[in-house]
Amino acid sequence: MMKLFGHPGSTCTRKVLFSLEETGTPYELTLVDIMKGEHKSPEHIARQPFGQLPAIDDDGFKMYESRAMARYIDEKAGFKLTPKDAQQRAKMEQWVSVETSDFTPAAMTFIYDGVFKRAQTPEAMKSAGEKLEAAVAVIDKTLAESGKPFLVGDQFTIADIAYAPYIEYATMTAAKDIFAKYPQFTAWWGRVSSRPAWQKIRTKGF
């Protein structure tokens, strides 16, 4: 059984949990309590040299980085979350890249400020708001033009999973006002967040 070392409230752990649940992969979660600094312990550093969450051990195969883990989990499960078509697969990777570069850094500024109570400067919040709105606007336009339920079309993919933990927390902040202006984005998030796999893990937090 795959062992996942993480915290159910951490965004990156949630990406991996979402992938595990969606693919029906058996796993065992070992709590690494970030509130107690356990992610910086020598024991965890041996699993994750950057002292971050999460890490996995799949019968001796060890790795870290949540997006890479999601791909590995899905491949083992028979590509349930990855399109078989090369162009659709490329689109999935495109949206994961957008999440990594254009969406998440801005969303995390709101999350640090509003959820974790690490006050951000007005300048940082203004910049984050502009960047977040630009990303949300592109997602909204894409969904409107495609008329499809998910980022890559009819199939729910790793791309949709990648955004979920950040949107969940960002809706607890002023970012919710940005999201509310974009109906296609909001409807897409409703479809993603109502999935049984997400509902199973979302109630576990800090």
- For residues 32 and 38, is the Cβ–Cβ distance under 8 A? yes
**pLDDT value of residue 205:** 52
37 CB burial (10 A radius; 0-12, 13-18, 19+): exposed
- Residue 30, classed as helix, strand or coil, is strand
126 pLDDT exceeds 90?
Answer: yes
The single residue listed with the structure tokens 């969904």 is: 143
Strand 61-64 relative to strand 27-31: parallel, antiparallel, unpaired? Answer: unpaired
- For residues 192 and 164, is the Cβ–Cβ distance under 8 A? yes
User: How confident is residue 62, by pLDDT bands cut at 50, 70 and 90?
Assistant: very high
- Average pLDDT score over residue span 105-119: 95
pLDDT in tens, 1-13: 999 999 999 999 9
- Average pLDDT score over residue span 55-64: 98
31 pLDDT exceeds 90?
Answer: yes
Sheet of 55-58, strand order: 27-31, 2-6, 55-58, 61-64
Q: Domains plus CATH for the chain?
A: 2-80 (3.40.30.10), 86-195 (1.20.1050.10)
The Cα–Cα gap between 139 and 137 comes to 5
pLDDT in tens, 166-185: 999 999 999 999 999 999 99
pLDDT in tens, 71-107: 999 999 999 999 999 999 999 999 999 999 999 999 9
**pLDDT value of residue 202:** 82
User: How confident is residue 203, by pLDDT bands cut at 50, 70 and 90?
Assistant: confident
151 pLDDT exceeds 60?
Answer: yes
Q: What is the mean pLDDT of the chain?
A: 96
Rg (CA), the chain: 17
- Average pLDDT score over residue span 126-148: 98
Amino acid at site 73:
I
The Cα–Cα gap between 21 and 24 comes to 5
The Cα–Cα gap between 86 and 106 comes to 30
**pLDDT value of residue 99:** 98
The single residue listed with the structure tokens 């927390």 is: 169
To which H or E segment does residue 175 belong?
helix 175-179
User: How confident is residue 206, by pLDDT bands cut at 50, 70 and 90?
Assistant: very low
- For residues 64 and 24, is the Cβ–Cβ distance under 8 A? no
